[in-house]
Structure 1
Amino acid sequence: MDQDILVRNNVKVKGQGRQSIIFSPGFGCDQTVWKSVADAFSKDYQVILFDYVGSGHSDLRAYDSKKYSSLHGYAQDVLDICSALDLKETVFVGHSVGSMIGVLASLRHPEYFSHLVMIGPSPCYLNDPPHYFGGFQKEELLGLIDMMEKNYIGWANMFAQTVTNNPERPEVKLQLEERFCSTDPIIARQFAEAAFFADNRDDLKKVTVPSLILQCSNDIIAPAAVGEYVHQEIPASILKIMEATGHCPHMSHPEETIRLIHQYLEEASTAGSLVVRGVTI
């Protein structure tokens, strides 16, 4: 069964460290987006990479439209991987919706995780005035889903450009576009619906695992107000504003991403985990 899980999610393990660190991709991406960042941790950590079912080299036969109609299905896969590898006190690094998948996993089994690192997280993409600004009107997201159905290639081009929002790094936009186009359009659309119409705001205050929030500058997908909101709601959290622009700093600005994660983990280690399970000691 454990081997089936590792094959299902195309799990790759490398590195020499005692502590493990698992990298969770964002929407429409596979584990290859982490290459630059993950390699930098392989000397000090056991690095774990995986693909969501339906992306990368995962086992497409395992795709279940009911299970993956919500983020809870993806969170269960993360927990399955942790169980299969017998992980404890793992550093979880999630990008975008991968961050919320990590949140949901940590609520069910906090003992699996020592820290959550969230890159461009958003608990809710919809605006809910007057107290919450997620960045999108419902009509905009419905239009996005409709475009995926009618012109998937055109959507992939447009969305990759919106996500990166970085004209100086056109290669990152192309890399994202290629990954979107390599995913089955039906699976991609269902994942988009699960991600963009989720509302995990109430889950944030329940998080007990110490967390780092990395907020990019000029991020259209997860605006600065969202990063502030996540920080305010998660009790034991730290917010860092990045110089990196766009929504994919692990691809466009890997050096800054690596430095901030390393700094956070080193400070936590040096302090002897000053914050444990949301309590300052």
Structure 2
Amino acid sequence: MSFSQQRVMRSPTGAELNLYVKRAEGHPRAVVQINHGLAEHAARYVRFATFLGERGFHVYAHDHRGHGATKAPDAPLGTFAKVDGGAKVIADVAAVHDLIAGDHPGLPVIVFGHSMGGLVALNFMLHHSNRLHAAAIWNANFSAGLAGRAAQIILAWEKFRLGSDVPSRMLPRLTFQAWGKAVPDHRTPFDWLSRDAAEVDKYIADPLCGWDASVSMWRDLFGFVFDGADDTKFSGIRKTLPICLVGGEKDPATDRGKAVSQFAGRLHRMGFSNLVSKVYAETRHESLNEVNRNIIMDDFAAWADSALKQA
């Protein structure tokens, strides 16, 4: 499996985005724009991209700022930007979207995001929903609550004491490390990602995965979370937009899928009428790298097929 193309595109933010493209086999039906998660990179989605390409979807997936092979003078590994990092991430996503529109005028675009990428995809949707045919938000936690407020206080203290561009000392303990300990009889600290030991081992062996994010990156991420937790931000989105939510019953990052179900409930209460939401039994955080990934990918393809039949 491989991507059809790897290229570098310059974003208006100044970032040199590392971008992967997988061309559709046969007549192209749509484009899926992938947004990867925290402390990983777009190349890990080659299996999903290949699956989609075989079913008539072009796929575009770039490394976000501070991730993978993307370069920006204000964004070393682990940092979105020295200032306005969240806004620059969304601007980069918009730049890739503009490229897609130029490469494939008239083709519908489905934005996809996993985990942090789900936060990014939703925030892109909040500002650009008129450009999207559908949105898939997977394994993302928009339950801000007291824990989110506490994290903001911790990060503000760390910024004061340590600065913004250094790794957070506390957030890894409250997130990745805590999630690792939540898995009974865990073999590695990253077993919370998947039941597939080979996939976990590949993640651990990858130097571009599993690093500690900076204080500023965490602050930007919580900005995404709180925007996604604010119902007033959704007022400009058409209520018939096809939306797909996915979670895992054994994913500690989403409170074992409860955060996904809660988000689905919020969307229903806001009047969104074209929503599919599923929390997969026994499944951990990385749905696309789980032992039941073929079922999950088939379900995504069926949802996308249904979404494309809608005007």
TM-score (norm 2): 0.70
**Relative to 1, partners in 2 of residues 1:18 and 1:164: Cα closer, same or farther, differing over 3 Å?**
same
Higher mean displacement: 33-42 or 162-171: 162-171
| Contact residue 194 and residue 289 of structure 2 kept, 8 A | no
User: Equivalents in 2 of 1:31, 1:169: separation in Å?
Assistant: 19
SS at match of 2:82: coil
Q: Is the CA contact (8 Å cut-off) linking 1:26 and 1:94 kept in structure 2?
A: yes
Q: 1:18–1:233: structure 2 CA closer, same or farther, 3 Å change rule?
A: same
Q: Does 1:77 align with 2:92?
A: yes
Partner residue, 2:230:
202
Does residue 98 of structure 1 match 2:117? yes
* 1:215 and 1:227 in contact (8 A); partners too: yes
Report the more deviating stretch, 192-201 or 157-166.
157-166
Equivalent residue for 1:257? 296
Deviations along 1:60-79, one digit per CA (max 9) or x if unpaired, are: 325332121x3x33222111
Q: 1:127 aligns with which of 142, 145, 162?
A: 145
- Aligned match of 2:130 in 94, 105, 111? 111
Any idea what the Cα deviations from partners look like across 1:118-175, whole Å, max 9, x if unmatched?
1112223x434xxxxxx778369949x9795459999998368366426743333333
Match of 1:211 among 243, 250, 258: 243
- Structure-2 residue corresponding to 1:131: none
Q: 1:35 to 1:167 in 2, by over 3 A?
A: closer
Paired residue type of 1:202: D
CA–CA separation in structure 1 for the residues paired with 2:176 and 2:300: 30
Quick one: structure 1 residues 237 and 152, their matched pair in 2 at CA, closer, same or farther if it must change by over 3 Å?
Answer: closer
RMSD of Structure 2 on Structure 1 (CA): 3.6
Q: Which residue of 2 aligns with 1:238?
A: 276
TM-score (norm 1): 0.77
Contact 2:30 2:58 in 1 (8 A): yes
Q: Distance in 2 between matches of 1:181 and 1:118?
A: 23
Call closer, same or farther: CA 1:167–1:102 in 2, change over 3 Å. Answer: closer
8 A Cα contact 1:117 1:212, kept in partner = yes
Matches of 2:179 and 2:202, distance apart in 1 = 9
Label 1:167 to 1:262 Cα distance change in 2 as closer, same or farther (>3 A).
closer
Q: Distance in 1 between matches of 2:285 and 2:211?
A: 23
Matched, 1:59 2:71: yes
Cα separation, 2, equivalents of 1:189 and 1:179: 22
CA contact (8 A) 1:10 1:50 kept: yes
**In structure 1, C-alpha distance between the alignment counterparts of 2:22 and 2:307, rounded to whole Å:** 23
Report deviation, 1:23: 0.9
Match among 28, 44, 49 for residue 38 of structure 1: 49
Asked whether the 8 Å contact 1:165–1:245 carries over to 2, the reply is: no
Answer yes or no: is the 8 Å Cα contact 2:34–2:60 preserved in 1.
yes
Among all aligned residue pairs of Structure 1 and Structure 2, give the percentage whose two residues are the same amino acid.
10
1:49 Cα deviation (Å)? Answer: 1.1
Following TM superposition, by how much is the alpha carbon of 1:92 offset from its aligned partner in structure 2, in angstroms?
A: 1.1
Q: Distance in 1 between matches of 2:259 and 2:176?
A: 25
| Gap runs ≥5 in structure 1 | 129-134, 277-281
Once the two structures are superposed, residues 196-247 of structure 1 have per-residue CA deviations (whole angstroms, 9 ceiling, x without a partner) of: 4631211574343320101111111112321122112221321112135211
Cα pair 1:33 1:250 within 8 Å, conserved: no
Confirm or deny that 1:86 pairs with 2:101. Answer: yes
User: How many residues matched?
Assistant: 260
Q: Is the 8 A contact 2:168 2:214 kept in 1?
A: no
- CA distance 1:239–1:109, shift in 2 (3 Å): same
